[in-house]
């Protein structure tokens, strides 16, 4: 099975969130179960700098406003072949792949991600690199979705397409007056295609034209069929029937393992939890919190956006602190949330810590050193930090939504009796419900035998990529056979 994966970010070169972690791990996992996988990425500075042995595949000439576009092929360590679209006019700029320094979308995102999709479709058709033609083109999120429309616009279908929704909230919406820039037939500017309330939407290209659609957890695959979480696209998704499915993400053990993690103060495992206390003390010290083994330490590592429900945490914080707990957050995003967390830190020195910004290494310390990790999201397609937390014996406190509902088992009396509980799960998106869940966690923390039971059970969960890759492979076969 030959598979071309197409995405805008990949760990460790460019990462804004969980998408990069998935794109960094899935191709290798597919290769390990026998697929012939290549990845296609935009030529962002860190990607061009991080690719080994790049060589020219072909010159594409001027396209999408860029004077010079070239297709390169190189390797991403350890052994993944990667195509890179080198278009300096569109991609050679510092900062975030999607946003300019002022936080607004790059003004030419239409051209930047249309080019990515165009090149993907033409590699898939065997026209740019005659030496390799995939059976499946697998596009991730709206940035890569247009590939599915370019494939569908061709007179002959030679490749199956799979589109994975990592986050349905981001559509890639543009003005109808710019539709002509895509170079697609005008029939694609219709409600049955890319049109969305007068504009046109990249994500609709994936939802309408991909042979199969997946999302990153079974529960989110159901939720996006509903008006509540369908982001205005629930009708489109329902219409795709059983061609929409959920495949839960895995965890890369090379990156996230407490027994070998080079970023943390001490190593530990389910069999020997000793190092965890050292990680906690080191974290408290680094954050300027009172070093106190007896204070339950709750942390968050997250984009600070409304998706993540962090306003609930702010409301529930005074009660949590009242119970003797400590709280720390690392993240960046919404200025109002950043300000509010900073204020909380000023009001509670030694008990609340805030690290604004993005710091991959420190994220490991936040996850390893905490007792509990909060993920109170309003919606969560999969969520990775609760999975990392489980591996590090950090007990997750999560909302019952999306991938959070699929990966954390609440410490109810029944689940404790059945020896299944791994965390604390709450329902309504309210500070009250979150507060009660955190309170249950504090009470459990004060019962060391129970708490260690939760830690060990979490650490024993298996979120290996191997079975995930097998599921994608089965889906690719189905898509190819029914092409």
d(CA 330, CA 469): 31
Among ligand GLC, ligand ADP, none, the one that 216 touches (CB under a kind-dependent 5 to 8 A) is ligand GLC
Residue 43 or 331: the one with the smaller Cβ distance to ligand ADP is 331
Pure H helices in 105-251: 109-124, 141-152, 202-209, 218-223, 234-239
Could you check whether the bond before residue 296 is cis, i.e. omega within 30 degrees of 0?
Answer: no
Burial 81-120 (b: 16+ CB within 10 A, else e): ebbbbbbebbbeeeebbbeeeeeeebebbbbbbbbbbbbb
Stretch in the footprint of ligand GLC (CB under 6 A) among 11-19, 111-119, 337-345, 468-476: 11-19
Identify the residue among 12, 17, 65, 324 touching ligand GLC (CB under 6 A): 17
Identify the residue among 17, 88, 324, 350 touching ligand ADP (CB under 6 A): 17
Residue 109 or 385: the one with the smaller Cβ distance to ligand ADP is 385
Stretch in the footprint of ligand ADP (CB under 6 A) among 18-26, 69-77, 104-112, 240-248: 18-26
Write down the least CB distance from residue 129 to ligand GLC, Å. 28
Q: Is 384 in the site for ligand GLC (CB under 6 A)?
A: yes
Write down the least CB distance from residue 143 to ligand GLC, Å. 12
Write down the least CB distance from residue 169 to ligand GLC, Å. 8
Q: Please give the residues from 330 up to 389 whose contact with ligand ADP meets the rule CB under 6 A.
A: 330-332, 358-360, 363, 382-385
The token pair that represents 192 in the structure block: 């049955």
Write down the least CB distance from residue 383 to ligand ADP, Å. 5
Burial 9-25 (b: 16+ CB within 10 A, else e): bbbebbbeebbbbbbbb
Residue 384 or 459: the one with the smaller Cβ distance to ligand ADP is 384
The token pair that represents 92 in the structure block: 């050679």
Between 433 and 472, how does the x/- string for binding to ligand GLC read (CB under 6 A)? ----------------------------------------
Whether the Cβ atoms of residue 246 and residue 217 lie closer than 8 Å to each other? yes
d(CA 125, CA 403): 34
Q: Is 18 in the site for ligand GLC (CB under 6 A)?
A: yes
Stretch in the footprint of ligand ADP (CB under 6 A) among 271-279, 295-303, 392-400, 457-465: 295-303
Write down the least CB distance from residue 16 to ligand GLC, Å. 8
Q: Is 21 in the site for ligand ADP (CB under 6 A)?
A: yes
Size of the site for ligand GLC (CB under 6 A): 14
Query: What are 3's strand-pairing partners?
Result: 37, 136
Whether the Cβ atoms of residue 348 and residue 261 lie closer than 8 Å to each other? no
Q: Please give the residues from 313 up to 332 whose contact with ligand ADP meets the rule CB under 6 A.
A: 330-332
Residue 369 or 381: the one with the smaller Cβ distance to ligand GLC is 381
Among ligand ADP, ligand GLC, none, the one that 28 touches (CB under a kind-dependent 5 to 8 A) is none
Residue 233 or 317: the one with the smaller Cβ distance to ligand GLC is 233
Residue 22 or 473: the one with the smaller Cβ distance to ligand GLC is 22
Residue 18 or 117: the one with the smaller Cβ distance to ligand GLC is 18
SS3 assignment, position 425? strand
Q: Is 381 in the site for ligand GLC (CB under 6 A)?
A: yes
Candidates 190, 123, 166; CA nearest to 21 is 166
Write down the least CB distance from residue 123 to ligand ADP, Å. 26
Stretch in the footprint of ligand GLC (CB under 6 A) among 114-122, 236-244, 378-386, 444-452: 378-386
Size of the site for ligand ADP (CB under 6 A): 18
- Direct distance between the N- and C-terminal alpha carbons of the chain, in angstroms, rounded to an integer: 14
Among ligand GLC, ligand ADP, none, the one that 326 touches (CB under a kind-dependent 5 to 8 A) is none
Distance of CA 251 to the CA centre of its chain: 11
Whether the Cβ atoms of residue 42 and residue 69 lie closer than 8 Å to each other? no
| Host H or E run for residue 467 | helix 465-481
The token pair that represents 18 in the structure block: 């969980």
Task: List, in order, residues 6 or more apart from 286 with CB less than 8 Å away.
Answer: 362, 365
Write down the least CB distance from residue 203 to ligand GLC, Å. 13
d(CA 329, CA 310): 10
d(CA 150, CA 108): 19
d(CA 8, CA 19): 9
| Host H or E run for residue 373 | strand 372-375
Residue 72 or 247: the one with the smaller Cβ distance to ligand GLC is 247
| Host H or E run for residue 284 | helix 274-287
**Strands 2-6, 36-42: parallel, antiparallel or unpaired by DSSP?**
parallel
Whether the Cβ atoms of residue 207 and residue 201 lie closer than 8 Å to each other? no
Among ligand GLC, ligand ADP, none, the one that 360 touches (CB under a kind-dependent 5 to 8 A) is ligand ADP
Residue 211 or 214: the one with the smaller Cβ distance to ligand ADP is 214
**What residue ranges bind ligand ADP (CB under 6 A)?**
17-19, 21, 301-303, 330-332, 358-360, 363, 382-385
**What residue ranges bind ligand GLC (CB under 6 A)?**
17-19, 22, 166-167, 216, 249, 380-384, 403
């Amino acid at each position: 099975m030959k598979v071309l994966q197409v995405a805008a970010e990949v760990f460790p070169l460019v990462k804004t969130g969980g998408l990069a972690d998935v794109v960094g791990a899935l191709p290798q996992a597919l290769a390990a179960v026998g697929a012939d996988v290549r990845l296609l990425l935009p030529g962002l500075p860190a990607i061009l700098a991080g690719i080994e042995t790049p060589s020219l595949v072909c010159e594409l000439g001027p396209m999408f406003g860029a004077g010079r576009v070239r297709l390169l092929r190189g390797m991403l360590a350890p052994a993944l072949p990667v195509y890179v679209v080198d278009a300096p006019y569109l991609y050679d700029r510092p900062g975030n792949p999607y946003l300019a320094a002022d936080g607004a979308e790059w003004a030419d995102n239409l051209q930047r991600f249309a080019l990515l999709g165009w090149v993907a479709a033409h590699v898939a058709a065997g026209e740019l690199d005659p030496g390799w033609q995939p059976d499946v083109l697998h596009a991730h999120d709206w940035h890569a979705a247009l590939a599915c429309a370019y494939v569908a616009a061709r007179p002959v279908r030679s490749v199956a397409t799979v589109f994975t929704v990592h986050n349905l909230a981001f559509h890639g919406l543009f003005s109808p007056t710019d539709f002509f820039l895509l170079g697609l037939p005008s029939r694609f500017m219709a409600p049955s295609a890319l049109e969305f309330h007068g504009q046109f939407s990249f994500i609709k290209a994936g939802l309408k034209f991909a042979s199969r659609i997946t999302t990153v957890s079974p529960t989110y695959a159901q939720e996006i069929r509903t008006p509540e979480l369908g982001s205005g696209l629930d009708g489109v998704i329902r219409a795709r029937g059983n061609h929409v499915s959920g495949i839960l993400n895995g965890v890369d053990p090379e990156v996230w393992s407490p027994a070998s993690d080079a970023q943390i103060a001490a190593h530990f495992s389910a069999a020997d939890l000793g190092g965890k206390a050292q990680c906690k003390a080191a974290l408290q010290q680094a954050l300027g919190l009172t070093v106190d083994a007896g204070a339950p330490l709750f942390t968050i590592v997250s984009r600070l956006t409304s998706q993540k429900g962090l306003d609930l945490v702010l409301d529930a914080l005074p009660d949590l602190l009242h119970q003797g707990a400590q709280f720390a957050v690392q993240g960046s995003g919404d200025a109002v949330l950043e300000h509010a967390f900073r204020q909380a830190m000023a009001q509670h020195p030694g008990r609340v810590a805030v690290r604004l910004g993005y710091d991959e290494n420190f994220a490991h310390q936040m996850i390893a050193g905490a007792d509990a990790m909060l993920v109170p999201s309003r919606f969560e397609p999969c969520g990775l930090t609760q999975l990392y937390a489980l591996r590090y014996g950090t007990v997750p406190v999560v909302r019952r939504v999306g991938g959070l509902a699929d990966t954390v088992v609440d410490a109810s009396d029944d689940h404790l009796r059945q020896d299944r509980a791994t965390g604390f799960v709450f329902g309504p998106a309210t500070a009250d419900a979150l507060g009660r869940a955190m309170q249950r966690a504090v009470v459990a923390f004060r019962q060391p035998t129970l708490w260690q039971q939760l830690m060990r059970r979490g650490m024993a969960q298996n979120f290996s990529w191997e079975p995930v890759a097998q599921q994608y492979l089965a889906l690719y076969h189905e898509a190819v056979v029914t092409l």
